[in-house]
């Protein structure tokens, strides 16, 4: 198969439009009408109807016929689960995540970097804790999450500049790092410490601590994260979680072939 490169020469416009529709539905809190989708995508209603009809037939989209609104179907969830189940990283990590959650009585997450975002692949919720705010499959900006920061800390400066070409970074809360210079400095400290802490930098309610997971190439491929509600008491508790996190990450890394 011909190698895919960054070019528009081989893209299929109709497929691009269908993906735009799916992304809008995925990021919407409620179902959307044909008129709303047309306004958001700029796709004519007649064309959009055919796209939705096709997606519905393939179970990527569901339609509420009484309200005449559209939402995501279960097909994407099914395909995503298949991808996760086939992932060696995910399958290896989850058994250790359960043990860690029982050990520290906290919620535990597995996240990876995808361009400038992090995506959470696995979670183990502890029954002693409130249900977590973070959702699987959701994206979050890497530079203002503990998961993303601990992965970025082991990424080359050239890659950082590629991901964040501008000096100014979008602020999501009063604690968000808003300049690349400050981000680089924090990443240097994270690399020295071997862990990242983000207190309300993306979601003001969340305090998270993360450590890196490495594979047989000695590259950081994921992060193991504990999240909790951001309070002064929890911030003091975070320090006690670093050692169990690191020990668990080392076990996962070892199974992935990492040899220090």
Q: Show the tokens assigned to 33.
A: 């009408």
Q: Where does residue 80 rank: exposed (0-12), middle (13-18), buried (19+ CB within 10 A)?
A: middle
The ranges of the chain annotated as CATH 3.30.450.40 are 87-255
- Give the pTM: 0.69
| CATH number assigned to the domain with residue range 87-255, chosen from the 4 options 3.40.1370.10, 3.30.450.40, 1.10.730.10, 3.40.50.360 | 3.30.450.40
Q: Show the tokens assigned to 60.
A: 């990527």
| pLDDT band, very low/low/confident/very high, at 1 (cuts 50, 70, 90) | very low
Q: Note the pLDDT tens digit of each residue in 72-89.
A: 887 777 676 555 555 668
| CATH number assigned to the domain with residue range 13-73, chosen from the 4 options 1.10.357.10, 3.40.228.10, 1.10.10.10, 3.40.50.720 | 1.10.10.10
Q: Note the pLDDT tens digit of each residue in 151-202.
A: 999 999 999 999 999 999 999 999 999 999 999 999 999 999 999 999 999 9
What number of other Cβ atoms are within 10 A of residue 44's Cβ?
10
Q: What is the mean pLDDT of residues 209-237?
A: 88
Strand partners, 61: 72
- Which stretch of 26-30, 115-119, 135-139, 213-217 has the lowest confidence by average pLDDT? 135-139
Contact between 20 and 41 (Cβ < 8 Å): yes
Q: What is the mean pLDDT of residues 204-210?
A: 92
Task: Detail the DSSP E strand segments found in the chain.
Answer: 32-33, 61-64, 69-72, 107-114, 117-124, 139-141, 196-199, 206-214, 220-229
């Amino acid at each position: 198969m011909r190698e895919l490169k960054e070019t528009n020469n081989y893209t299929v416009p109709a497929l691009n439009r269908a993906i735009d529709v799916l992304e809008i539905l995925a990021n919407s809190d409620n179902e959307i009408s044909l008129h709303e989708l047309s306004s958001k995508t700029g796709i004519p209603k007649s064309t959009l109807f055919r796209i939705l009809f096709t997606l519905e037939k393939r179970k990527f989209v569901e339609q509420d016929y009484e309200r005449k609104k559209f939402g995501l179907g279960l097909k994407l969830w099914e395909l995503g689960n298949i991808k996760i189940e086939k992932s060696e990283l995910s399958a290896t990590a989850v058994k250790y995540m359960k043990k860690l959650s029982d050990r520290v009585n906290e919620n535990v997450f597995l996240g990876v970097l995808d361009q400038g975002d992090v995506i959470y692949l696995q979670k183990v919720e502890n029954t002693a804790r409130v249900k977590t705010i973070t959702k699987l499959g959701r994206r979050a900006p890497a530079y203002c999450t503990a998961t993303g920061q601990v992965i970025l800390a082991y990424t080359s400066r050239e890659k950082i500049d590629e991901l964040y070409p501008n000096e100014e970074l979008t602020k999501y809360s009063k604690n968000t790092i808003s300049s690349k210079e400050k981000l680089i400095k924090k990443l240097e400290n994270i690399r020295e410490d071997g862990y990242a802490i983000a207190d309300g930098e993306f979601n003001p309610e969340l305090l998270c601590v993360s450590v890196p997971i490495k594979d047989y190439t000695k590259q950081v491929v994921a992060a193991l994260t504990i999240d909790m509600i951001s309070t002064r008491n929890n911030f003091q508790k975070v320090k006690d979680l670093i050692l169990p996190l690191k020990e668990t990450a080392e076990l996962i890394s070892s199974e992935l072939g990492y040899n220090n």
